[in-house]
């Protein structure tokens, strides 16, 4: 990664305030793998901790305790007897931390906490005891914990049933990069692409820093995509399966839901997911849907005019969309696969849908351009008889933006036929929903609308440059 932190200004400010506070701090940082949690903490503190240890993926209790012991010896500069359990390990950590003199904050960073919690290890009980019996009384202690396994973090640290509930003094959710942050990151690595290319890159890799780090600056975007996904032993060809295994205990269940949603661009209701996947109704499905929402793989929204029973789940993770469309099942030997699809109908269809999802990731920027940042609004969709609107901004100021998203290599032209369709759809929406609000036709496009006799019927436009604002 770059030598400086790109973006993350809000998160850095939270860390600064908490480290400077005069009270003990337990800060939980969570978010999916590859998103830069460890990098943020290590870079912010310039790798200067009083103690740092990380969990070992699929490691045994003995291996986890062994690594903890090695780190304790490294930071304390003395030998320690290998702890027989986590209660012993945390007692040793306490003894070492108590020996640190002075008034400065004591910064401890425990990374990938869920991996330390092996079966029957009683890790969470020991950690909870360490914090409640000593940590929470030491005003100098600033304890930062990280975890990618969102299920574990939610149940053990963030949930109201977790042993550490109300113990964390601050939680930080680290989201994927925005387009603005992606552009800043690429520039920091000497990659100078135009915004159309950056948007297409975002539609393939999402805003995941580790994937962006793999891009080579002396190659075009197309060459990079072929190298990352389609050459023999491509580094990201198996990433999808690893990602789910490392995030979720029930990876198969989560993938079943994701792959059902991938086949239905407009999304599915809970009942439709059950019918498609044959997953039983119950707590496991509820938990899996919540986990997928928490990790930004899917979004849930209520269709306009519907109650909660009309909740729709939609796949919005761009990396997953690309993988399932093009990488899963790819058995070819074409090392220029992506390049050779440059103008295929499949690629055009994918780019149209992916651009819609990109827009959904940048609602804040769209509202900013429309001048409605301060107006309370609901983001939803609508399906009528043979018509649908993928993005509605239902505003408290008695206006609804009916948004169309179009990924085009030049200005988008509204034809007579398309104009008729837009007007008919708006009228159908008004009749079916019985809304009395003003309906504004809004276009989100790459390069704006081509001016003609129909473009004047559009009340507002958002172009790609508008999505790159901070």
Exposure of 143 by Cβ count < 10 A (0-12 exposed, 13-18 middle, 19+ buried)? buried
Q: Measure Cα distances from 299 to 32, 124, 267 in Å.
A: 15, 30, 9
- pLDDT, residue 51, reads 98
Give the residue among 241, 233, 235, 229 at the shortest CA–CA distance from 204: 229
Check residue 1 and give its pLDDT: 36
For residue 309, the model assigns a pLDDT of: 67
Task: For residue 446, give the 3-state DSSP assignment.
Answer: coil
List per-residue pLDDT tens for the chain, 470 residues long: 334 788 888 999 999 999 999 999 999 998 888 899 999 999 999 999 999 999 999 999 999 999 999 999 999 999 999 999 999 999 999 999 999 999 999 999 999 999 999 999 999 999 999 999 999 999 999 999 998 877 788 788 877 566 676 788 898 989 899 999 999 999 999 999 999 999 999 999 999 999 999 999 999 999 999 999 999 889 999 999 988 888 887 889 999 999 999 988 888 999 999 999 999 999 899 989 988 988 889 998 888 877 666 789 999 999 999 999 999 988 877 888 999 988 899 899 999 999 999 999 999 999 999 999 999 999 988 888 888 898 999 999 999 999 999 999 999 999 999 999 999 999 999 999 999 999 999 999 999 999 999 999 999 999 999 999 98
Residue 163: predicted pLDDT: 63
CA count, 13 A, side-chain hemisphere, 352: 13
The answer to whether 359 touches 351, Cβ cutoff 8 Å, is no
pLDDT at 214: 96
Compute the distance between CA of residue 122 and CA of residue 119 in angstroms, rounded to an integer. 8
CA atoms within 13 Å, Cβ hemisphere of 355: 26
Note the pTM of the prediction, 2 decimals.
0.90
Q: What is the pLDDT of residue 307?
A: 64
CA distance 4 to 44: 9
Q: What is the pLDDT of residue 33?
A: 84
pLDDT at 50: 97
- Please report the pLDDT score of residue 2 as a whole number: 38
Question: Which domains, ranges and CATH numbers included, belong to the chain?
Answer: 9-173 (3.40.50.300), 179-237+330-351 (no CATH), 240-324 (1.10.10.10), 371-467 (3.40.1350.10)
Q: Tell me: the pLDDT tens digits for 406-422?
A: 999 999 999 999 999 99
Return d(Cα 409, Cα 464) in angstroms, integer. Answer: 11
């Amino acid at each position: 990664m770059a030598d400086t932190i790109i973006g993350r200004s809000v998160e850095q400010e939270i860390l600064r305030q908490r480290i400077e506070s005069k009270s003990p701090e337990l800060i939980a940082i969570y978010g999916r793998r590859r998103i830069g949690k460890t990098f943020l903490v290590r870079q912010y503190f310039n790798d200067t901790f009083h103690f740092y240890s990380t969990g070992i993926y699929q490691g045994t209790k003995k291996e986890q305790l062994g690594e903890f012991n090695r780190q304790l010896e490294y930071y304390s500069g003395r030998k320690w007897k290998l702890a027989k359990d986590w209660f012993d390990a945390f007692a040793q950590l306490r003894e070492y931390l108590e020996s640190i003199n002075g008034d400065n904050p004591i910064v401890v960073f425990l990374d990938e906490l869920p991996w330390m919690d092996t079966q029957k290890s009683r890790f969470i009980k020991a950690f909870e005891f360490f914090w409640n019996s000593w940590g929470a009384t030491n005003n100098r202690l600033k304890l930062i914990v990280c975890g990618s396994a969102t299920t574990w973090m939610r149940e053990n640290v963030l949930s109201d049933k977790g042993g550490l509930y109300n113990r964390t003094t601050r939680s930080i959710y680290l989201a994927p990069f925005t387009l603005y942050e992606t552009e800043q990151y690429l520039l920091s690595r000497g990659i100078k692409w135009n915004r159309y290319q950056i948007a297409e890159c975002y539609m393939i890799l999402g805003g995941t820093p580790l994937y962006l780090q793999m891009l080579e600056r002396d190659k075009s975007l197309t060459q990079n995509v072929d190298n990352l996904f389609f050459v023999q032993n491509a580094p990201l060809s198996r990433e999808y399966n690893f990602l789910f295994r490392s995030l979720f205990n029930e990876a198969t269940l989560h993938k079943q839901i994701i792959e059902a949603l991938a086949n239905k661009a407009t999304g599915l209701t809970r009942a439709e997911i059950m019918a498609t996947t044959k997953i039983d109704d119950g707590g496991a499905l509820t938990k899996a849907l919540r986990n997928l929402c928490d990790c930004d793989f899917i979004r849930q929204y209520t269709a306009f005019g519907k109650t909660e029973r009309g909740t729709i789940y939609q796949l919005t993770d761009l990396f997953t969309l690309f993988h399932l469309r093009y990488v899963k099942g790819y058995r070819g030997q074409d090392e220029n696969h992506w390049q050779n699809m440059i103008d295929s109908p499949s690629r055009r269809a994918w780019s149209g849908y992916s651009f819609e999802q990109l827009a959904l990731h940048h609602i804040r920027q769209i509202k900013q351009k429309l001048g409605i940042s301060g107006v309370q609004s609901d983001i939803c969709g609508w399906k009528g008889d043979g018509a649908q609107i993928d993005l509605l901004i239902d505003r408290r100021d008695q206006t609804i933006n009916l948004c169309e998203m179009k990924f085009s290599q030049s200005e988008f032209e509204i034809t007579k036929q398309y104009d008729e369709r837009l007007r008919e759809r708006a009228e159908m929406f008004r009749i079916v929903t019985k809304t009395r609000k003003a309906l504004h036709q809004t276009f989100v496009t790459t390069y704006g609308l081509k001016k003609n006799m129909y473009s004047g019927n559009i009340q507002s436009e958002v172009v790609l440059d508008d999505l790159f604002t901070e």
